[in-house]
């Protein structure tokens, strides 16, 4: 069961980083670092997993584009 | 003989519940081996023993609550001190060292004793029993003990050791096939543990414990979590009340311009794959630890009305738990780790803290604690010292603010560092020296 839908991958990865968070209540336009109280280590883990799963290189200056689920999905869908 | 006692895992601990023994009588332990799991109000903690030797007897049943300092086990420290050579020889020749009569000085087992026991056939009791079976498998001594304890037929265990030797892990796998991945995970996580720690043997019961903790199908799990949350609240309440009652705090703050430092860090991370990137928090921790080495008056404990400097910098890191509550375990020798090592240690510590798998020394050893509330977006934190430590360093969030540099106002990335210190141990001038050192170190990140 491999999904290529960016939103699905993002949500799956967030769930893994913060297993106790209620993702159903996370709005796609909410800053998930705030909403899920991710610290910098959690966020780094998120980036690491996301990069692994999508094969997409994610640099530090890309982090700003990963603030919300919908931003991150747009980032992953955009051409390299 | 030495008594293994209920350790004090922090100044706030008065008693603990022995959850699980990770060794059995007869086991050979070395100083620092993890021998038991103790449940404190904060978490289940793996505790190490402080004496090497042979476990003579276990005095406390799992599930018993005992006060700090109460004897839990007796360790025979006279035990033969074995050279690594003798140990290897014994393993290679399948000799149970515990049963070998030592002829060396002080009853030491020598290489020729091992040769004798292995070759002559006049082996002593335990090995004799096994030798009686002519078709017996080649097994490690620990595998034999485990198999006996678990009631596993050794002849039916698939061997994975070199030369077809049945290893302890094989016995565990045979006894609890489903726990095999768990055992692998545990031993990977414990890769820093010394050889001889009987990790695999404990995997099944740990797996069960974890299931209970996470509440999969366990009705009492929610209650347990609620109880633990209450207990943790009470622990924090007692410790912080004691701190504010006993410690005359003084507070200093300093705003540090991190713009150039963060540019340096960004440049460094740019070329690295994600797992090797370093977060700014790691820089802050490293500088905190190095500054503590420079100003040792703030690194240590206030005990019996005097300051006792600590010989090393074990940096306590306040880590908030997702369910609420706070634990501040230590990164040992944080001042000597390079940034990559420190980053790895920090990730590992946070992961294990949140999974409830801390080690005893990590909780009892901090010599100075740092609280990095910046992650939660507050501008500054004025901390409360963890007794008997004498200082706490706090960092607020790193944020862009207007700031004057060489006569010009610019937008810079700043952090407010604070020091809460025990006025019994030091005066403000010492604290000021500390914050100056911290600032200087953060401005020279390539030296960290």
Q: Where are the domains of chain A?
A: 6-77
Domain edge (last residue) among B76, B104, B119 = B76
- Does A47 sit within 8 Å of B266, measured CB to CB? no
Q: Is A22 on the interface with B (CB under 8 A)?
A: no
Distance separating alpha carbons of residues B26 and B193, to the nearest angstrom = 20
User: Which of B360, B365, B298 is closest to B331 using CA atoms?
Assistant: B365
CB atoms B376 and A18 under 8 Å:
no
Structure tokens at B430: 């010492």
Q: A67 — contact with chain B (CB < 8 Å)?
A: no
Q: Which residues contact A62 (CB under 8 A, 6 or more apart)?
A: A75
CATH number of the domain within which B328 lies:
3.30.559.10
* Domain count within chain B: 2
Could you say which of B76, B100, B119 is where a domain stops? B76
Is residue B72 in some structural domain?
Answer: yes
Q: What is the pTM of this model?
A: 0.64
In a domain, B237, yes or no: no
| CATH fold label, A6-77 | 1.10.1200
Q: Is residue B29 part of a domain?
A: yes
* Spatial distance between the Cα atoms of A46 and B47, rounded to a whole number of angstroms: 32
**Average pLDDT along chain B:** 78
Token readout for B344 is 């790895």
- How far away is chain B from the Cα of A62, in angstroms, using its nearest Cα? 11
Residue B348 lies in a domain: yes
What are the tens digits of pLDDT across the range A42-66?
899 999 999 999 988 898 888 989 9
CA dihedral A14, A19, A25, A26 (to 10 degrees): -20
Cα distance from A3 to chain B (closest Cα, Å)?
22
Place of tokens 């810079």: B412
- Cα–Cα distance between B260 and B264 in angstroms, integer? 6
Range of the domain at B370: 249-447
- Residue B379: is its pLDDT beyond 80? yes
Closest residue by Cα to residue B438 from B292, B257, B240, B237:
B292
The DSSP code for B100 is P
- Note whether A41 contacts B: Cβ–Cβ < 8 A: yes
State the nearest Cα–Cα gap between A1 and chain B, in angstroms: 22
B183-206 pLDDT, tens digit each: 322 223 333 333 333 333 333 333
3 state DSSP class of B164: helix
Which has the closest alpha carbon to A12: A52, A62, A40, A57? A52
Asked if B267 reaches chain A (Cβ–Cβ under 8 Å), the answer is: no
Q: Classify each residue of B193-230 as buried b or exposed e, where b means 16 or more C-beta atoms within 10 Å of its C-beta.
A: beeebbbbbbbbbbbebeeebeeeeeeeeeeeeeebee
B376 at A interface, C-beta within 8 A: yes
pLDDT at B152 over 90: no
Q: What span, in angstroms and rounded, lies between the C-alpha atoms of A36 and A69?
A: 12
Categorize the per-residue pLDDT at B354 as very low, low, confident or very high, splitting at 50, 70 and 90. confident
Instruction: Give the other-Cβ count within 10 Å of B248's Cβ.
Output: 10
Q: Is B210 on the interface with A (CB under 8 A)?
A: no
B215, B258, B274: best to mutate for the A interface, most A CBs within 10 A: B274
pLDDT digits (tens, 9 = 90+) for B292-307: 999 999 999 999 999 9
Which residues, in sequence order, are bridge partners of residue B21? B36
B158 DSSP 8-state letter: P
Q: Which of B46, B76, B106 is the last residue of a domain?
A: B76
Q: Which residues make Cβ contacts (< 8 Å) with residue A52, sequence separation at least 6?
A: none
CATH code (residue B8): 2.40.50.100
Question: On the CB side of B43, how many CA atoms lie within 13 Å of its CA?
Answer: 27
Residue B25 lies in a domain: yes
Indicate whether B234 belongs to any domain. no
- Whether B225 is in a domain gets the answer no
Q: Is A44 on the interface with B (CB under 8 A)?
A: yes
Q: Most B CBs within 10 Å: which of A18, A59, A63, as the mutation test of the B interface?
A: A59
More confident residue, B157 or B226: B226
Q: Residue B148 has what pLDDT?
A: 59
User: Which residues of B are less than 8 Å from A37 in CB distance?
Assistant: 322, 376
B271 touches chain A (CB under 8 A): no
User: What 8-state DSSP symbol labels residue B102?
Assistant: P
Residues 6+ apart with CB under 8 A from B202: B20, B22, B186
The dihedral of CA B136, B142, B145, B151: what is its sign?
Answer: negative
Q: pLDDT (tens digit, 9 = 90+) per residue, B392-446?
A: 999 999 999 999 999 999 999 999 999 999 999 999 999 999 999 999 999 999 9
Would you state the structure tokens that stand for residue A40, as one six-digit string? 């910098």
Instruction: Identify whether B359 is part of a domain.
Output: yes
């Amino acid at each position: 069961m491999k999904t290529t839908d960016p939103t699905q991958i993002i949500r799956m990865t967030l769930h893994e980083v913060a297993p106790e968070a209620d993702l159903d209540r996370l709005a796609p336009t909410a800053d998930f670092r705030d909403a899920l109280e991710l610290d910098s280590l959690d966020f780094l883990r998120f980036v690491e997993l996301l990069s692994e799963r999508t094969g997409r290189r994610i640099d530090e200056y890309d982090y700003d584009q990963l603030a919300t689920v919908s931003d991150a999905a747009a980032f992953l869908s955009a051409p390299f | 003989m030495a008594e293994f006692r209920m350790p004090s895992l922090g100044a706030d601990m008065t008693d603990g519940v022995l959850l699980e023994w990770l060794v059995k009588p007869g086991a050979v332990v070395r100083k620092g081996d993890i021998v038991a799991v103790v449940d404190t109000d904060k978490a289940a903690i793996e505790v190490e023993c402080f004496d090497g030797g042979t476990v003579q007897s276990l005095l406390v049943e799992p599930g018993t609550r005992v006060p700090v300092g109460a004897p839990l086990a007796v360790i025979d420290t006279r035990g033969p001190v074995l050279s690594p050579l003798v140990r290897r020889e014994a393993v290679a020749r399948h000799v149970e060292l515990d049963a070998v009569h030592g002829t060396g000085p002080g009853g030491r087992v020598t290489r020729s004793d091992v040769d004798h026991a292995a070759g002559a056939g006049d082996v002593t009791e335990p090995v004799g029993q096994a030798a009686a079976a002519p078709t017996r498998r080649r097994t490690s001594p620990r595998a034999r003990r485990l198999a006996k304890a678990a009631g596993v037929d050794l002849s039916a265990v698939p061997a994975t050791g070199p030369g077809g030797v049945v290893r302890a892990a094989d016995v565990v796998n045979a006894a609890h096939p489903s726990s095999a991945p768990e055992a692998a995970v545990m031993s990977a996580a414990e890769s820093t543990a010394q050889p001889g720690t009987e990790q695999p043997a404990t995997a099944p019961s740990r797996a069960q414990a974890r299931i209970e903790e996470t509440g999969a199908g366990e009705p009492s799990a929610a209650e347990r979590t609620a109880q633990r949350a209450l207990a943790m609240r009470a622990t924090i309440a007692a410790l912080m009340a004691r701190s504010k009652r006993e410690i005359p705090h003084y507070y200093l703050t300093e705003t540090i311009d991190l713009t150039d430092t963060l540019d340096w860090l960004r440049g460094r991370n740019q070329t690295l794959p994600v797992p090797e990137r370093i977060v700014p928090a790691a820089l802050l921790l490293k500088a905190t630890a190095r500054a503590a080495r420079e100003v040792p008056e703030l690194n240590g404990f206030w005990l019996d009305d005097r300051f006792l400097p600590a010989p090393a910098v074990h940096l306590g890191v306040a880590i908030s738990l997702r369910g609420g509550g706070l634990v501040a375990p230590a990164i040992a020798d944080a001042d000597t780790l390079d940034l990559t090592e420190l980053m790895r240690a920090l990730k590992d510590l946070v992961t294990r803290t949140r999974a409830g798998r801390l080690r005893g020394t990590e909780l009892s050893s901090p010599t100075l604690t740092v609280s990095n509330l910046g992650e939660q977006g507050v501008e500054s934190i004025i901390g409360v010292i963890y007794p008997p430590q004498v200082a706490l360093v706090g960092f607020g969030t790193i944020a862009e603010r207007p700031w004057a540099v060489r006569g010009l106002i610019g937008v810079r990335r700043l952090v407010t560092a604070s020091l809460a210190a025990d006025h019994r141990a030091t005066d403000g001038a010492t604290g000021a020296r500390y914050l100056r050192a911290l600032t200087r170190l953060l401005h020279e990140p390539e030296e960290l």
